[in-house]
Amino acid sequence: MTQELLEVRNLRVEIPTRRGTLVALDDVSFSIAPGEVLGVVGESGAGKSLTGAAIIGLLEPPGRIAQGEILLNGERIDNLREEAMRRVRGRRIGAIFQDPLTSLNPLVSIGKQLIETIQTHLDMSRAAARERAIALLESTGIPAARERIDHYPHQFSGGMRQRVVIALALAADPEIIIADEPTTALDVSIQAQIIALLKKLGRERGMAVMLVTHDMGVIADCADRVAVMYAGRVVEIGPVKAVIHRPSHPYTVGLMGSIPSMKSDAKRLLQIDGAMPRLTAIPPGCAFHPRCASAFARCSKERPDLMTAPQTRAACWLIEEGTRASAPLAAVSD
Ligand SMILES: Nc1ncnc2c1ncn2[C@@H]1O[C@H](COP(=O)(O)OP(=O)(O)O)[C@@H](O)[C@H]1O
Ligand code: SF4
Ligand SMILES: [Mg+2]
């Protein structure tokens, strides 16, 4: 049996509110192998960030894990005490968020922040930690790292700051990086560089990466496997080529249609009509049914779980019916 590095099993996250308990993640399961890049995609509000937050133990209260397990190298980490989880978070799981400024203290030089993080997790002298900090900055492509290590965050551009955050996430040589929209706040020209960097570092260090993004182009470029989320559930998961070229879930078909560069015929831009439901109004049965052109009677009554599709696993009744998913309600524009 090969050991998965990260395993999320039947994760359910609830958010209690005055008007009742919202189910934000429902029965989410996936795994990531060592060295693998798992892309997690889906429209805004699908539950991507909550999934990442649950893994790193930073769900904002009152949000809580109500069911399921999260395992790192076969050991549960979802039930650790705060102190133990803090060690796991810095040492074994690195995190990168959308806005580099949330991860950096503006009042402290980047060198000091790196050295502190390194010394918190690794048994190293200050001098050795400083050398490691410089090496990390160099590995993330910061020019003249030795000279710039004592600079403050505001002295770096947005793209360079995100490189500093990546260096910080790598400080203790984690087994996995959770990157939540790491390039969304950056210029388009910088985005590709940062993604390429993450992929390269992952490969060189045998580090797994969970890359959350709403950008299918990014996924196509760098993920090994892809999980597609919709309304708090994984609706399709599989190897990146299969998910892009042979998706089985009508929602994935729609998402893929929305990346012009993926199509030989760049003019055929599919859009999925409608919006993702709010947590307070998740439709019964398949949550996608009000937007799905292939929906049939069963879809609004019974909720499909992931099942084996021709090239992926997908949660759609069409698979049981043996029909290939057709494009969802498609507004085909020129
Ligand atoms: N603290 C909270 N209270 C209420 N709803 C929340 C809270 N955090 C997240 N949500 C809701 O959970 C859903 C999933 O959010 P999120 O994981 O941030 O989505 P994504 O990252 O895919 O855009 C959204 O509908 C969001 O509004
Ligand atoms: S065919 Fe039915 S089960 Fe499949 S995505 Fe559409 S509504 Fe959901
Ligand atoms: Mg998010």
* pLDDT over 90 (residue 197): no
Q: Encode pLDDT of 35-58 as tens digits.
A: 999 999 999 999 999 999 999 999
Q: Please give the pLDDT value at position 271.
A: 66
- Give all strands (DSSP E) within the chain, no chain letters: 6-17, 20-32, 37-41, 64-72, 75-76, 93-96, 176-180, 208-212, 225-230, 233-239, 307-308, 313-314
DSSP label at 329? S
What is the predicted pLDDT for the residue at 259?
60
163 — pLDDT class (breaks 50, 70, 90):
very high
> Which pLDDT band, with edges at 50, 70 and 90, does 268 fall under?
very low
> Does residue 286's CB lie within 6 angstroms of at least one atom of ligand 2?
yes
Atom nearest to 181 CA in ligand 1: 21
> Nearest residue CA, atom 20 of ligand 1?
45
Check pocket membership of 46 for ligand 1, CB cut-off 6 A.
Answer: yes
pLDDT tens digit sequence for 55-69? 999 999 999 999 999
Both tokens of residue 71?
Answer: 């395992």
Rounded Cα distance, 167 and 109, in Å:
14
Residue 132 pLDDT greater than 80, yes or no: yes
The percentage of the chain sitting over the pLDDT mark of 70, rounded to a whole number, equals 92
Q: Is the CB of 250 under 6 A from ligand 2?
A: yes
Q: Could you read off the pLDDT of 90-122 as tens digits, one per residue?
A: 899 999 988 888 889 999 999 999 999 999 999
- Token digits of residue 162: 């995100």
Give the pLDDT confidence of 282-329 residue by residue, as tens digits: 999 999 999 999 999 999 999 999 999 999 999 999 999 875 555 444
* Nearest atom, ligand 2, residue 293 CA: 6
* Percent residues over pLDDT 90 in the chain: 75
User: Angle of helix 110-121 relative to helix 126-139, nearest 10 degrees?
Assistant: 110
Residue 332 binned pLDDT confidence (cut-offs 50, 70, 90) = very low
Contact between 243 and 226 under an 8 Å Cβ cutoff? The reply is yes
**CB neighbour class for 157 (10 Å; exposed up to 12, middle 13-18, buried from 19):** exposed
- Sketch out the chain's domains with CATH numbers: 6-223 (3.40.50.300), 247-332 (no CATH)
pTM of the model: 0.91
Q: Which of 96-105, 189-198, 248-257, 265-274 has the lowest mean pLDDT?
A: 265-274
Q: Is the CB of 153 under 6 A from ligand 1?
A: no
Tell me, using a 6 A CB cutoff, whether residue 44 lines ligand 1. yes
Please work out whether the CB of residue 279 comes within 6 Å of at least one atom of ligand 1. Answer: yes
Ligand 1 closest atom vs CA 48:
22
Regarding the beta carbon of 48 and ligand 1, being less than 6 Å apart is answered yes
Contact 220/204 with Cβ under 8 angstroms? no
- Give the number of whichever ligand sits closest to the CA of residue 299: 2
Dmax (CA) for the chain in angstroms is 68
- Candidate of 12, 17, 49 to mutate for ligand 1, largest count of ligand atoms within 8 Å of Cβ: 49
First to last CA, the chain: 50
Whole-number Å distance between alpha carbons of 175 and 91: 8
Using alpha carbons, select from 271, 273, 272, 274 the residue that is nearest to residue 333: 271
What is the SS3 assignment for 194?
helix
